[in-house]
Structure 1
């Protein structure tokens, strides 16, 4: 910087400030410039990332709609041997009485199949002779206009596949009576072939569904134009640059002023793009506010640092270093530390205070340790100890006479869906802290947190009319969990008890009956003081359906069909109320099976339902069977695709392969063993051990099950059915059928 001789002659103050400028100020300014450039890029990248996340939400809505509605359309077409297509074909007649009866039957069956979906606008059937049948709403667009669309023509070329189309409603009542302006209507089209529509009357089956993606885009655009977000103008275009959906009448976005962010949406038959146009200057608009604050703070820090540097060096820094060292020793547990007084007056006072604080802290620690050694356990400690089995209720009664002096009830609290980045245990502690803000809970309850998802509470009963008050408290706890923490809370209220004798039994009953939440829907309360006998019967019946639930959970079609047939046979001689109880028990067993592997039962449908209310609305046993059949089919598809069981277990993988290829006559043990990557002999022994039957027996029973369904529901000849289930030799098929059922296929068809 200067020659050594000259530097030595400079005053100390001048030398210090020169060193401060060259070695502190200039490097900080250089770093500041680099940081500001990096911040500029970071803000721009973050703005684009926010837009992409908003686009991903739109894409998630569209993809979810396609997945769900494609699956629903396929289910509707194929369920019960194409029953709905037969009903639709019967509406293609000039006899109005027959047509009206057929349309009523078709509407009733479709409404059952569509539950619980509420966004479907219309189900349409277009006949080859030009007639059309609508369920829900009648579409106002002409057949000619619809048949000229690309997706309609594409569906005609590839039959039995689902194709996606769209309509953007430009005005009210544009597509159907009651349609809103600026709504994006997704259309799902399937052209059945002769195997699905044996009448050959139906040309096309269409689902019209409103998508939440349109409402999301409208909210984005409205907030952007009003300055509430920085997401730009969002719209959807096709792969041929055709504008699919936009809320603006004119969309002129010159490249020199706007930045375009584009994300693809891939469907079976097309690729759409979610595009956002935002003014380029707005991508970094928030950066300048931050940059000014950063610059101002940097300048201020430099000024203060320069002004006070000498003072800090001589009179503050060195004494504070000694205080800091003393604090580190205190942190390590050394309370014998003492610092000599030095520095300015304030620093000397600080050192005196530090020494006094250490002496006082030592006294407090000694007093606390003495108190801990002599302190008794609290009521919360006793409750936790008896729940964990460390002491018995009788021992608790001896140690703390006041614990069981009053009547009490045990509450079970189950928590689901912590939507937070915090650890679940930390969030659970905050939730408990908030519960304690409820006056009734704080004054009457002792809580034990068994896990982040399950709490037990000991509720002291101090009044005669406690029932309604405890329910009101439970409702308030649910509200706290739902609105303040975004969690679902289920509460099981135990019966009124007194003394320690029934304590363990009450806790056990709470644990057993907490599973009834699977039937009651979101944020339910299970009051054991009401309908106790019905709850006990449901728990007992659910055990009979554990095998059926296991087959559904593992996507085991053969065992599912066996168990379902047994269940439906038991329905034949039962009253409607008994059948409903059996349906509740099946759902309860399935919910318990999901909980056993810590899987979320609500993920199957994306939300929770009150199954008791839903099934009670069904008026006959046949409709219950149809509802359960569709319910099982939905869960089978979910467990096979979402849980990916087939990818991790060789036997389950083999069963899924057999279910998908049973109609192949050359399906063999060797072929299946090769598919799952196991030695043939080892695979055969393992299959027999785990399934309780040989591979050939399992395959034969599955084929005969499929044959029985075809014999009951179709008019195919016996030799045709034999080929459909994998038997090219009809005599061999007849022998196997008779061996398993005691009668020939022809006799079986007559008997049913």
Structure 2
């Protein structure tokens, strides 16, 4: 009772402060300290996750390097009927003149088979007699030293399989002229068997690649040492503990218990490498606790201030402001029939009076605006948007507005690509358009419609007769500013100059179809519908859609059939019409790009960049080289699509065709084996295969074998019985009988006609 009396006798301010401290300040401080400890642990976990993500980036790039270079080495060895190996074997001679001839052939063939990549340092051919030949740079290490490496010995045990290894350079120019000590040098080795190396002279083929992964790890370490990141020191180590790549000089320091150790495995065929990061444990959360102390002090200060001011705010400010806030929400929702009774301090009452006056003024302004809008026509932007969305027709626009189609115009089609591979957000596109409006010609002449995150149209009004030059200047300026300020690369297709609404939708369709041509020009390109080359190549695209479809699904039989038609067309043109032959090849590439777009796949990902095919093909001056380039290009695409097939393809018939094209040379290949591979029983698979392909499994297999045989007869000097074995026949008599039934002449007669 006494305690209740004493408590009741305390002043209201004292009671409020005691209550505020006991029930608000103390619990908040306890929660704040607890939360800071939890956040400390979370920051540590987040820091380790950041390190892991950086390692995963390194792992992804390293794995991509290994996969790409392994495919390049396989393509170098097996492409063009093992032509490169024949030339390399030819250099193994004491005849200097003969050796130079074969070395030149090796250099020329290597240049055609391998896409120019600066990271490829050398391709070494090590002979069984201890001699060696090189494409590009010569490797300074002796044959004995190379042969003693783990990767060399491993490759010798796995004929025709690519083995990945590394070389650690101990000084500048030690490995090759221009080599450095702190570079990551990967080696891709392959020991050919008798079937691959018909000369039986080559013991090992080694592709030396300077991996940019090492530069990235080196950059991470440099940034860490300069305090720009918290990723620690990073290095690459093999499964048996041998350091593959490192810029860390003091390895003993890393074994101290004060360091946190994070590693990510990089899985190879039969080996594993590890990306390791070392960072002092205290650095993971050091910055957090520096900030946490100040946050705690500020929180306590704010609590004291709020406690002191709370009673006044509650009675004289908070309650009236809540009423004003409620009124504002009603205004935001469109309800203007409101009135707030003034109360609280003088300033608050004045604010309430002003709010009531503002609501009345808004009511009057909205009424005036609605009346005015009834008498004003739509803006150019509104008309353009409604035309693009189909909410209005060009004829209706011409009836409602005299200005929209008053001048000549052209449709510009913009394709926006983030140079870092990120998806462009809508707010970023709006910033880009706002930036474009700083260009006087664009802001005065163009009305924009954004189709999606990558594409937009511009309705471009013009008065000049020769409009292309000034248009190219304007677009070039827009491309530069978008690249500089936002990291966005822009391709633009320029429509024809037309007048009136009748041609509007025709022009929209034309620029949307013709924008495909950007895939032939490279990065940051612009081209016009008035370009005769563009129109000529685009008109040829439908002829090669079947070939593009076959390549996209890695259907080798149809690839051979359609490629034969294409080569027949090119051969008829002859060397005097090399330019027209180039048009055919450009049309094939465009058909492939179209196929990729329809499948919502990135065509530029095949070679990792936008390739300027127009320029590349213009350098090829004869039909034979053009056909060779196209053959290599198709083989590369088929290898690329085949590697993707197992990851994403669910169509059983496509998987079956790919399996058949991979194992057709096996005489025992059967319907049951293929059905088991795709996971279906034989009866259902037979019915499904016949229904979707229009022919039986056996007819398809025989057709593929005959296509392969015809190609070998035409392009190689193998004996007839050797070709029979290579396409899946145990005896030459059966092969001759099937070939003659299929083509009407014997294999020998066919070869003579060729």
Range class of TM-score, shorter chain: over 0.9
Mapped to 1, the partners of 2:562 and 2:66 lie a distance apart of 32
1:4 to partner: Cα distance: 4.2
Matched, 1:310 2:311: yes
After superposition, give the CA deviation of every residue in 1:440-467 in whole Å (9 maximum; x if it has no partner).
1101111222333222212222345643
User: What is residue 81 of structure 2 aligned with on the other side?
Assistant: 81
Mapped to 1, the partners of 2:612 and 2:473 lie a distance apart of 20
User: What is residue 93 of structure 1 aligned with on the other side?
Assistant: 93
Question: 1:391–1:256: structure 2 CA closer, same or farther, 3 Å change rule?
Answer: closer
User: What is residue 214 of structure 2 aligned with on the other side?
Assistant: 214
1:75 to partner: Cα distance: 0.7
Question: Contact 1:408 / 1:498 at 8 angstroms: preserved in 2?
Answer: yes
Matched position secondary structure for 1:15: helix
1:677 to partner: Cα distance: 4.0
Question: Contact 1:552 / 1:632 at 8 angstroms: preserved in 2?
Answer: yes
Question: Contact 1:658 / 1:699 at 8 angstroms: preserved in 2?
Answer: yes
Mapped to 2, the partners of 1:500 and 1:364 lie a distance apart of 37
User: What is residue 579 of structure 1 aligned with on the other side?
Assistant: 581
User: What is residue 526 of structure 2 aligned with on the other side?
Assistant: 525
- Which deviates more from structure 2 when the two are superposed, residues 489-498 or residues 300-309? 489-498
User: What is residue 114 of structure 2 aligned with on the other side?
Assistant: 114
Mapped to 2, the partners of 1:679 and 1:270 lie a distance apart of 36
User: What is residue 626 of structure 1 aligned with on the other side?
Assistant: 628
Aligned ranges for residues 532-543 of structure 1 at < 5 Å?
A: 532=532, 534-543=533-542
1:551 to partner: Cα distance: 0.5
Mapped to 2, the partners of 1:339 and 1:422 lie a distance apart of 48
1:482 to partner: Cα distance: 2.6
Mapped to 2, the partners of 1:187 and 1:418 lie a distance apart of 30
1:586 to partner: Cα distance: 0.6
1:500 to partner: Cα distance: 4.1
User: What is residue 372 of structure 1 aligned with on the other side?
Assistant: 373
1:621 to partner: Cα distance: 1.9
TM-score for both structures, normalised by structure 2: 0.94
Mapped to 2, the partners of 1:137 and 1:13 lie a distance apart of 88
TM-score for both structures, normalised by structure 1: 0.94
Question: Contact 1:556 / 1:652 at 8 angstroms: preserved in 2?
Answer: yes
User: What is residue 338 of structure 1 aligned with on the other side?
Assistant: 339
Aligned ranges for residues 227-246 of structure 1 at < 5 Å?
A: 227-246=227-246
Question: 1:283–1:594: structure 2 CA closer, same or farther, 3 Å change rule?
Answer: same
Question: 1:463–1:660: structure 2 CA closer, same or farther, 3 Å change rule?
Answer: closer
Question: Contact 2:79 / 2:113 at 8 angstroms: preserved in 1?
Answer: no
User: What is residue 196 of structure 1 aligned with on the other side?
Assistant: 196
User: What is residue 480 of structure 1 aligned with on the other side?
Assistant: 481
After superposition, give the CA deviation of every residue in 1:627-678 in whole Å (9 maximum; x if it has no partner).
1112111211222222558731122122112212223334344443444344
- Which deviates more from structure 2 when the two are superposed, residues 419-428 or residues 449-458? 419-428
User: What is residue 709 of structure 1 aligned with on the other side?
Assistant: 711
Matched position secondary structure for 2:451: strand
Question: Contact 1:163 / 1:269 at 8 angstroms: preserved in 2?
Answer: no
Mapped to 2, the partners of 1:163 and 1:378 lie a distance apart of 66
1:319 to partner: Cα distance: 2.0
Question: 1:303–1:741: structure 2 CA closer, same or farther, 3 Å change rule?
Answer: same
Question: Structure 1 stretches of 5 or more lacking a match?
Answer: none
1:108 to partner: Cα distance: 0.5
- Which deviates more from structure 2 when the two are superposed, residues 716-725 or residues 439-448? 716-725
User: What is residue 360 of structure 1 aligned with on the other side?
Assistant: 361
Question: Contact 2:423 / 2:453 at 8 angstroms: preserved in 1?
Answer: no
After superposition, give the CA deviation of every residue in 1:412-456 in whole Å (9 maximum; x if it has no partner).
212234869787434333322222232211011112223332222
Question: Contact 1:707 / 1:722 at 8 angstroms: preserved in 2?
Answer: yes
1:207 to partner: Cα distance: 0.6
- Which deviates more from structure 2 when the two are superposed, residues 693-702 or residues 583-592? 693-702
Question: Contact 2:192 / 2:202 at 8 angstroms: preserved in 1?
Answer: yes
Alignment equivalent of 1:661, drawn from 660, 663, 666:
663
1:558 to partner: Cα distance: 0.8
User: What is residue 567 of structure 1 aligned with on the other side?
Assistant: 566
- Which deviates more from structure 2 when the two are superposed, residues 415-424 or residues 502-511? 415-424
1:612 to partner: Cα distance: 0.6
Alignment equivalent of 1:591, drawn from 584, 590, 593:
593
After superposition, give the CA deviation of every residue in 1:65-89 in whole Å (9 maximum; x if it has no partner).
1111000001111112211111111
Aligned ranges for residues 444-455 of structure 1 at < 5 Å?
A: 444-455=445-456
User: What is residue 264 of structure 1 aligned with on the other side?
Assistant: 265
Question: Contact 1:645 / 1:653 at 8 angstroms: preserved in 2?
Answer: no
Aligned ranges for residues 299-698 of structure 1 at < 5 Å?
A: 299-417=300-418, 424-463=425-464, 466-529=467-530, 531-532=531-532, 534-574=533-573, 575-642=577-644, 644=646, 647-678=649-680, 680-698=682-700
Matched position secondary structure for 1:123: strand
Matched position secondary structure for 1:576: helix
Question: 1:341–1:66: structure 2 CA closer, same or farther, 3 Å change rule?
Answer: same
Question: Contact 1:43 / 1:286 at 8 angstroms: preserved in 2?
Answer: no
Mapped to 1, the partners of 2:395 and 2:348 lie a distance apart of 61
After superposition, give the CA deviation of every residue in 1:245-304 in whole Å (9 maximum; x if it has no partner).
222443331423322222222222432222222222221221123212311221122111
1:104 to partner: Cα distance: 0.3
Question: 1:562–1:465: structure 2 CA closer, same or farther, 3 Å change rule?
Answer: closer
Question: Contact 1:61 / 1:211 at 8 angstroms: preserved in 2?
Answer: no
Question: Contact 2:645 / 2:655 at 8 angstroms: preserved in 1?
Answer: no
Question: 1:313–1:496: structure 2 CA closer, same or farther, 3 Å change rule?
Answer: closer
Question: 1:55–1:674: structure 2 CA closer, same or farther, 3 Å change rule?
Answer: closer
Question: 1:363–1:584: structure 2 CA closer, same or farther, 3 Å change rule?
Answer: same
Aligned residues: 750
Matched position secondary structure for 1:545: helix
Mapped to 1, the partners of 2:38 and 2:370 lie a distance apart of 53
Matched position secondary structure for 1:263: strand
Question: Contact 2:189 / 2:207 at 8 angstroms: preserved in 1?
Answer: yes
Question: 1:596–1:188: structure 2 CA closer, same or farther, 3 Å change rule?
Answer: same
Question: Contact 1:554 / 1:645 at 8 angstroms: preserved in 2?
Answer: no
After superposition, give the CA deviation of every residue in 1:136-163 in whole Å (9 maximum; x if it has no partner).
1011111111111111111111111111
Matched position secondary structure for 1:700: helix
User: What is residue 153 of structure 1 aligned with on the other side?
Assistant: 153
Question: Contact 2:554 / 2:642 at 8 angstroms: preserved in 1?
Answer: yes
- Which deviates more from structure 2 when the two are superposed, residues 296-305 or residues 96-105? 296-305
- Which deviates more from structure 2 when the two are superposed, residues 599-608 or residues 5-14? 5-14
1:392 to partner: Cα distance: 4.1
User: What is residue 746 of structure 2 aligned with on the other side?
Assistant: 744
Mapped to 1, the partners of 2:200 and 2:734 lie a distance apart of 33
Mapped to 1, the partners of 2:424 and 2:178 lie a distance apart of 47
Mapped to 2, the partners of 1:443 and 1:170 lie a distance apart of 63
Matched, 1:182 2:192: no
User: What is residue 28 of structure 2 aligned with on the other side?
Assistant: 28
- Which deviates more from structure 2 when the two are superposed, residues 428-437 or residues 442-451? 428-437
Matched position secondary structure for 1:220: helix
- Which deviates more from structure 2 when the two are superposed, residues 739-748 or residues 148-157? 739-748
RMSD, aligned α-carbons: 2.4
Matched position secondary structure for 2:572: coil
Question: Contact 1:406 / 1:460 at 8 angstroms: preserved in 2?
Answer: yes
Mapped to 2, the partners of 1:679 and 1:252 lie a distance apart of 60
Mapped to 1, the partners of 2:497 and 2:424 lie a distance apart of 35
Matched position secondary structure for 2:82: helix
